[in-house]
Amino acid sequence: MAISWHWAFGPESAADLQLYYGFTFFSGLLGSVPLSGAAETYSYSGSPTRYSMARRNIGVLILPAASYPSTAKGWVSIPAKDLAAPSLTVSVRLIDVYGSGSTRRIYVDVGADQKSLRLWVSNVFKESTTPFDWTDWKYVSLQWSMSTTTWSGRIFVDGVAETASYNETIGTVAETSGAIQLGSPTIATTSQWLLPQIICHDDNADAGEVPRFVTRVQPNADGTNIGTWTPSVGGTDFGVLATPLNTTTYTENTSPTALDRVEVLTNGGGSDLDTALGTTTSAIDSVIVHGYSTGQAVTARVKVGDGTVSETAGANGVISVGSTSYTYAVANLKPSGGSWAGTDSPDYIYEVVST
């Protein structure tokens, strides 16, 4: 198993993330804004513009349902930083994995010293970590499993185990569904809690603790369409399908039939992943396409291609007439086989399955 879902925050507002993207700001939108300054982003030399979702209130951000793996086990990893204040708010759940069947949790919260982290498995306290300076970026990973009646959890920070691995059976059931939530442990008006990206794995045997960057790669050329697709503005599909999401710009097919598709590419002008990422990559672990649509109630899906006839498809989804529907496809290997390399250029496809 491997990476199952990932997300890099961009310039989208908190309101749009909640209205269109499937995120829920449980305590409201107050103080949640995208930032892109050098001190505000988890970045590397050469990177395209990056963002963090900055939050001031002690709030809970519920991730889209796709973030919780069907295996009911894996990893949740986030870089995190407090922009100014040296101490965090006690007992805020930094990473919180919820099981629907038991209504119990495996989570990481903030210790009484306002600097350490604490591990809880099935709501039972297990161990505290050493204290950390949260004015520097920390890559926090929760290794977890709810897949059997023996739950497990462990905390890693910057790739290093900060607790032992613990098991728990109190109140547990083998879960089949749940949710992942992220807390904001600061209320200081002079500070902001920064969340730049999220990586989820679907197996706790993976090396999910290894720090990774999640970077958006924009389409920059049109591919080969099937059916008639008309951009709302301009003359290109990629021009209206690149992020950030803007519901007033789109490409549409007013008379869709099965297997109609719109394809956009990332190889415009000879570009490849190294060009888009602004660096020479040593490893690319995953490519994900997030698809958002509305209109006719058809069944559709998104795909990842690699310039060959091979494609990796996401799950089918029924498109809502009145609200934005979400589909995604994850390709941890190239659809034609082998690992992604910096010289590759992924294709992004949206396909009608049935009408």
How many H-runs (helices) and E-runs (strands) does the chain carry? 3, 27
- Domain regions of the chain by residue span: 3-201, 221-354
Q: Is the peptide bond before 244 cis (omega within 30 degrees of 0)?
A: yes
pLDDT of residue 108: 98
- Three-state DSSP class for 56? coil
pLDDT of residue 1: 64
pLDDT under 70: residue ranges of the chain: 1
DSSP 226: B
pLDDT of residue 232: 97
**In 8-112, which ranges are continuous DSSP H helix?**
14-20
pLDDT of residue 3: 98
221-354 topology per CATH = Jelly Rolls (2.60.120)
For 3-201, which CATH class? Answer: mainly beta
Extract the tokens encoding 236: 């290109």
Phi, psi at 15, each rounded to 5° = -60, -45
Helix (H) / strand (E) containing 33: strand 33-35
Q: Do domains 3-201 and 221-354 have the same CATH topology?
A: yes
d(CA 194, CA 183): 11
- Residue 196 zone, left/alpha/beta (φ > 0; ψ -120 to 50; rest): alpha
C-alpha Rg value of the chain to the nearest Å: 20
CB within 8 Å of 291: residues ≥ 6 apart: 300, 301, 302, 314, 326, 327, 328, 329, 350
User: pTM here?
Assistant: 0.97
Please, are residues 273 and 291 in contact by the beta-carbon 8 Å criterion?
no
